[in-house]
Each structure stands twice: as C-alpha cells, then as structure tokens.
Structure 1
Amino acid sequence: MVVGHFLKWIGTARVSERVAAVSALARAYVERDLPFEDRCAAEAALTLLLDDPSAKVRLAMAEALSMSHHAPIQIIAALASDQPEVAAFVLARSPLLTDADLIDRVATGSKAVQKLVAGRPVVSMALAAAIAEIGEPEACVELIANSGAAIAALSFRRMAERHGHLPSVREAMIADPRLPADCRHMLLVKLGDALKQAPLVAALMGAAHADRVMRDACVKASLTVIENTRAEEHGALIEHLRLRGDLTSSFIIRAIAHGKVDFFGSAMVALTGQAEHRVRALLSGGHDAALAALFRSAGLAASTHAVILRALKIWREVANGKRVAGAQEVTWLMLKELGGQASTGDLAGLLKSIHLEALRENARGHALAIAAA
C-alpha cells in the first residue's frame, strides 16, 4: 500500500520533504482520487501527522484541507486549535466549522483569531452577534468591512456602544450603508464627546464653550442623519433620541424648519401614540384646530404651535408645487409669526439662529457654484 510506504519513509525524511509529501497526500485525499482502503489509510496518516514537530508540515496540511467539504473533521478541529499561523487557513476558510465552533474560537481565541473568523467569506448573523458582543475592536472592523457578513441592527448597536469611541471602529461603521440611523447618531455623539475632551480643543475654547459648540454641531449633524434615514428606520431613531433626552421641542422645531416633515410625523406618532395613518392625514391636510390638538397631545408647548403650523403650511405648498422655498424662507416666515426680527425669547432666538445658519449655507453654496462656473 502506498500509504504504508509513506508512513515508513516519513520518519526519516527532512522537513522540506515531509511538507511536500503531506501536501500531496492531503490533496489526493480531498480530490477523492484514492481507492476506499487507501483513503482510510491516508486519513490515518494525516491524523498521525498532526503530531509532527514541524509547524511547516501542519501548515501544509491545513492549506490543502482548509477549503474541502470532505476533509476529516477531527483533523480540521485539531488544526483550528493549532498555533495561529497553522490555524489561520482553517479558521478563515473551512466550511466544516460550525457556528458553535467558530463562536467558541471567538470567545477563547486571540485578537488575530477573532479577525480571521470575522473575515470568513460567509459570517452568519449569530456569529456576527458574538463578534459584536465580545470581539476586540480589530475584529469588529474586520466584520464591518466583510461584505459576506450578515450583521443585525442589534449587533451594530453593540459595536457602537462598546467601541464607538475608537476612530477606527467609528469610521468603518459610518462608512457602512447598512448602519441603522440610531447607531449613526450614537457615533456622532461619541465623536462630539471625543472632540470636546481633546486637550487642544479645551485649551482653545474652554470647557463650557467647547461643550456648547459640540452640542450644536451634533444637533446639525443629526439633521443630516435624518435626511439619509429611510422612513422605516425613523421609529428606532426617534426612540434613541427620546431615551437620550435629545427629542426636545427645539430639535423638533429645527427638523420641521428644515423640511423633515416625514420625521416630524414619525415623532408625533411616537409622542402621541396615535395611529400613523391618522397623523399623516392631519399633517397633509388637517385643520389648524386638529393639528394644535395633536401638538398638545405630543407635549409641545402652546407657544410653539403657531410657528409649526406656519412651517407645515409652507411645506405643503412646496410639496404641491405651489411654492419654491427652503429653510431660509421657512424660518423667516416662522419668525414673522412671533413678530419678526424684533421678537425676543428662546423660541425667537432659536428661529433666528436657524435662519442665520440657512443664510450662511445658501451663501456658501452660491459662492462655490460661482467658483465652479
């Protein structure tokens, strides 16, 4: 029997010869070119070679067997537990390792092992959840970059909670179109906190000023998040904002001033508990009295009702093609409800600041358009 001669020879062969021989034997096994008796003998020989003192021999075996559906499972399991350079091929490729096997490797393995598992061609939702829950930051970055990984929204949230303060994880997550809107907002807040606590920022601005600037920047960035959020994700984002205490009247007014009417409607549904179809019907064509009742049910102060009603009417006209307007025009007309530029108070101050921001943004866009012409 060929395998018998192989086993007698292997004990005296040099490492390079054993590497070539074990690679050839393993490939013959997975290609199923051997008769049944020789296959059984080859499996026994390969199992014996797991004890070879040279890692190069075991590495050659791992490379040859790593992608086969027909490799002996006991050999695959042993190679997966070998030293990292040997285990790498099997952990990254073998279709014989189950989710339970891989989750165990993630739980007990090194950072390098976790990265190998996270980079497999196919990563199930359960395995991705394990990496999100206990994986090192490097493994999470590898998982996010893996287009073959099925990552649940909950797993994205766990990675944002655990590692969102780290630039590498934050950048990978923000670049991923699968990232849920509430996670995107969470990462923006974490970025703001990191910038606020940076020694240079604190030295240049002072702690109080830095806190105010970063808070304002996060609010503005939140509007961008809303703009790029699908309607079906509004509920999760609103709940996230509400739990953080960010779903304030001023935030809602800022959203409606910028034309985020769908988001405003989702917020009214969440805050009032009324049916979505009823809220949508009121926003699209309801009378002022019915809308004011809706706002009261949502907990919006009576002083805000008139400016919100004015904004809604303008955005209705824009949607119906009767008017062309943007945040600059809408905030100006909202401010007129309070008496124009001479008006005072917190609400007037908020509308003035939104109006000035819109003016600056429009002027900036105009200047860039001129420069590009």
Structure 2
Amino acid sequence: MVAYTEFVRLSQSSDSEERGRAAHFAAVAYLSHSGPADEQAALYAALIGFLDDPSVKVRAALAYGLLHSAEAPRPIILSLLHDSAVISRAVLQYSPVLIDADLIGLVRNLDLAMLLSIAQRSKLSARLAAALVARGERQLTLRLMRRLEIGFAEALLADIASQQGRDPEMRGALLARKDLPAQVRLMLVQMITEDLRQARIVKGALAPDRLARLLRDSTDTALSAIGEREASKTHRAYAAELIVSDRINTRVLLHAVVTGHVMFFADCLAELSQTPRDKVFMLLESGSRPALSALLGRCGLKQATRGLFVQLVMHARSADLADDAAARHFVVTALTEEMITDHDGVIPPELEEAFAYLSEQNVMLARKAARGVMAAFASEAARPMALPVAAPERLALSAA
C-alpha cells in the first residue's frame, strides 16, 4: 500500500525513477480499483498526467502497468501507441485494447520493426494478417506464414507460393500449413524436385538416369499422397483439376494403387468415368472382373490396360499396400510376371509405359523390402552361415 501523500511526492519528484514508480503504482491501482468513483477519477487524471512526463522511463513504466489489460483506458493506450518507438512497439504487440480498425490504418505506413510487433500479437485476425502480408516484406510474410493458427484465403496463399515459392524458408513455412490448397502444395513439391535436380551435391551423388527415376517416383508419390488427403476430406476438385491439366496417366494411376492411395485412385476413376464415387468404391472393393473392366472402359483405357488394372485391383484387395513394402514388392512382381506370361514376352505398345513403371518399382521395392532382413535374421540365427567347402588347390605341372 502507498499513501496518497507519498504517491504525490513520488509523482512530483525530480528523479525520473521515482516518477516512474508513481506511474506504475497509478496504473496498477486504477486497474484493480473497486472503491468510490471520485477516487477512480483521481487515478485516471493521474494517468493522463504521466503522458506528458518528459522522461521516456516514466511513460514506459505507465505503459508497462497498462500493457496487458483489456481494462486499460483506451485514450491512454492510443496516446502511448504514438509515443517513442520502444513504447509504441510494446503497445502494438501486447495491448488487447487495440482492435483491427486501430491497426489496419497504421499498417500502410509503419516501418518493418513496428509491423513485426503487430505480427507477434497473441491474436491476429485473418483480415489484419492479410493487410500485413500486402506490405510485401519477406521477413514479415515468413513470420505470418509460420503462424498456423491464422487462416489465410487460398488465393493469397497461392500468390505467395507463386511469387516466393523458390525461397526455401518460405516454401517450408507454406508446406507446413494445413490450409494450403492442394494444387499449390503440388506446385511447391515440383519446385523442390527441380531444385534437387539442379543441386550439385545431388547431381554428383547419383547417376542421371537413377536421379531422374527417383525424382519422378517421388513426385508421383507426392501427387497421389496429396490426392489421398483431399479425397479423405471429400474434396474432388483436386482430381478433376489434374485431369483437366492432363496430369493423370497410366503411370500415375498405377502408382496411386501401388502406394496404397486408393481413395485418390477412386476419385480419378469417378471423374474419368463420370460415375458416382460410392459406386466406384463398391466396384473396387467387391466388383467382378467384367464390372471392373467396364468401369475402366468408361475411363477411356484400352483393353490391355484395363486387364492390367483389373489384375492390380484383385491383388490389392488382399494386400496392405499403404504400409507394407514387402506386400508392394510381391504385387508388383506378380503383375510383371503375369504381363510377361500373358503376352509371351512381347509387351504390347499400349502397355510399354506400365511395364517400364513396374520394372522400376520392382527394383526400388526390392531394395526397400530387403533392408534390415539379413541383420534381423543374423540376430536370431543359431547356426553359422553354410558355405561350400573349398576344394584343395591343385598344382599345375608342365607336361614332360
């Protein structure tokens, strides 16, 4: 407790430290006041008086006392907002008294340090965040993109991705956002692919052909994984847009099934065949071979390709392709052998792309499935490795 006479003495002191203490006492007393109205009016008048104090320390002490309270007097907060930079930045960042209408008008003219203070407010509306992004400051935009709780319009995120997607930090911040549109996410993945393709450390570590296969496989996986997530949210626009942009082909459809992204596969079939999604799911789960072939025919696939997909669906019904690399390897191996057998080793032209894809996958999946197998076996094996007995070395004698 501080006596009013002592408070008056401190507030009239020539020492800025003592006046600062008085300013802080007045702020705390005003916010916690529950007494007579005349007492509150006196405290309010004291707060107003400290606004004219020549010392920044005193005004900062006043601001510190009021900064985090929604009950702080609005006129005083607005006055402190236009005080020295150190006080103004604190008010911009912390005061809950300020509303969007106060801040949006300031955003157009504030410097970067002030804008960053606003960007660090505990609560930031989408409207205010969009106004901050409109300033075009990279550091500011990056900070806002990393605030995942703020919702941004899809068009705004698309603009940022197209303009600044080559910036690795910005790209990472965008990809971490759940509200990023699927097509924008795919565009950023393609940028990453191109950057990896050009990176000297990557180019020097892998042969060009193998690098091209790995990047193509990774891009296809990303495309179908994004599609799987969109399909789980019943968003069919992604598949439709890929079809319109001619991004869906035999390889992509095969990859979707082989990687276990069957919901995306179903969406693609539904769009291509103009068949209800529920009916497509029913056919994939339990439809007969002729029914599946008819559905694939409506998608525009040729007879030989339809037969391949029917075989793939039949295998996929009894295998966990989403998580089991060994199951994927088994299915791909079986499909490859069936194609060779069915066509007597002469693969039709319409199946060459599919056969090339399956051959690539066979090698990649064999490597994945084999990793760790020998180590696991060795830890459990009770007998030594069986090796053939070496034959005794024979002397070669010259003929007599």
Shorter-chain TM-score bucket reads: 0.7 to 0.9
C-alpha distance 200-269 of structure 1, shift in aligned 2 (>3 A)? same
- Give the TM-score normalised by structure 1: 0.78
Conserved in 2, the CA contact under 8 Å of 1:129 and 1:152? yes
User: Deviation string for 1:278-332 (max 9, x for gaps)?
Assistant: 222222223334433433443445542222111111112337xxxx972212222
Amino acid paired to 1:249: T
Deviation, structure 1 residue 106: 4.5
Equivalent residues in 2 for 1:157-172, closer than 5 Å? 157=158, 159-172=160-173
2-structure distance, mates of 1:269, 1:78 = 61
C-alpha distance 332-83 of structure 1, shift in aligned 2 (>3 A)? farther
Conserved in 2, the CA contact under 8 Å of 1:318 and 1:325? no
Q: Paired residue for 1:97?
A: 98
User: Deviation string for 1:209-235 (max 9, x for gaps)?
Assistant: 977764443224445555666711653
1-structure distance, mates of 2:312, 2:92 = 57
C-alpha distance 297-168 of structure 1, shift in aligned 2 (>3 A)? same
Conserved in 1, the CA contact under 8 Å of 2:11 and 2:23? no
Greater shift in the superposed pair: 306-315 or 88-97:
88-97
Deviation, structure 1 residue 86: 1.5
C-alpha distance 223-150 of structure 1, shift in aligned 2 (>3 A)? same
Q: Paired residue for 1:353?
A: 360
Greater shift in the superposed pair: 201-210 or 185-194:
201-210
Amino acid paired to 2:312: A
| Secondary structure, aligned partner of 1:318 | coil
C-alpha distance 333-203 of structure 1, shift in aligned 2 (>3 A)? closer
Which is helix-richer, 1 or 2? Answer: 1
User: Deviation string for 1:45-77 (max 9, x for gaps)?
Assistant: 434544544433333222221221221212223
1:40 equivalent to 2:41? Answer yes
User: Deviation string for 1:204-261 (max 9, x for gaps)?
Assistant: 8899997776444322444555566671165354356457653333212111122221
| Secondary structure, aligned partner of 1:338 | helix
Amino acid paired to 2:195: A
Deviation, structure 1 residue 118: 3.2
Q: Paired residue for 2:151?
A: 151
Conserved in 2, the CA contact under 8 Å of 1:114 and 1:131? yes
| Secondary structure, aligned partner of 1:97 | coil
2-structure distance, mates of 1:188, 1:352 = 25
| Secondary structure, aligned partner of 1:69 | coil
Q: Paired residue for 2:392?
A: none
Indicate the percent of aligned positions where both proteins have the same amino acid.
29
Equivalent residues in 2 for 1:259-274, closer than 5 Å? 259-274=260-275
Q: Paired residue for 1:78?
A: 79
- Give the TM-score normalised by structure 2: 0.73
Greater shift in the superposed pair: 152-161 or 108-117:
152-161
C-alpha distance 336-104 of structure 1, shift in aligned 2 (>3 A)? farther
Amino acid paired to 1:359: A
C-alpha distance 235-57 of structure 1, shift in aligned 2 (>3 A)? farther
C-alpha distance 348-179 of structure 1, shift in aligned 2 (>3 A)? same
Deviation, structure 1 residue 349: 0.8
2-structure distance, mates of 1:21, 1:336 = 88
Q: Paired residue for 2:318?
A: 317
2-structure distance, mates of 1:243, 1:367 = 47
1-structure distance, mates of 2:167, 2:213 = 22
Conserved in 1, the CA contact under 8 Å of 2:10 and 2:19? no
Q: Paired residue for 1:112?
A: 113
Q: Paired residue for 1:27?
A: 28
The higher radius of gyration belongs to 2
Amino acid paired to 1:39: Q
| Secondary structure, aligned partner of 2:248 | coil
C-alpha distance 326-210 of structure 1, shift in aligned 2 (>3 A)? closer
C-alpha distance 66-279 of structure 1, shift in aligned 2 (>3 A)? same
Amino acid paired to 2:292: L
1:366 equivalent to 2:367? Answer no
1-structure distance, mates of 2:244, 2:78 = 45
Deviation, structure 1 residue 37: 3.3
Aligned length: 367
Deviation, structure 1 residue 29: 1.8
| Secondary structure, aligned partner of 2:14 | coil
C-alpha distance 294-371 of structure 1, shift in aligned 2 (>3 A)? same
What RMSD, in angstroms, separates the aligned Cα atoms of the two structures? 4.1
| Secondary structure, aligned partner of 1:67 | coil
C-alpha distance 288-197 of structure 1, shift in aligned 2 (>3 A)? same
2-structure distance, mates of 1:278, 1:265 = 10
Equivalent residues in 2 for 1:84-233, closer than 5 Å? 84-131=85-132, 136-146=137-147, 149-152=149-152, 154=154, 157=158, 159-175=160-176, 182-198=183-199, 214-223=215-224, 225=226, 231-232=232-233
Q: Paired residue for 1:252?
A: 253
C-alpha distance 169-104 of structure 1, shift in aligned 2 (>3 A)? farther
User: Deviation string for 1:320-356 (max 9, x for gaps)?
Assistant: xxxx972212222332443269455222111211222
Greater shift in the superposed pair: 246-255 or 161-170:
161-170
| Secondary structure, aligned partner of 1:120 | coil
User: Deviation string for 1:105-159 (max 9, x for gaps)?
Assistant: 4454343334333333333344444455656444444445546x34257265555
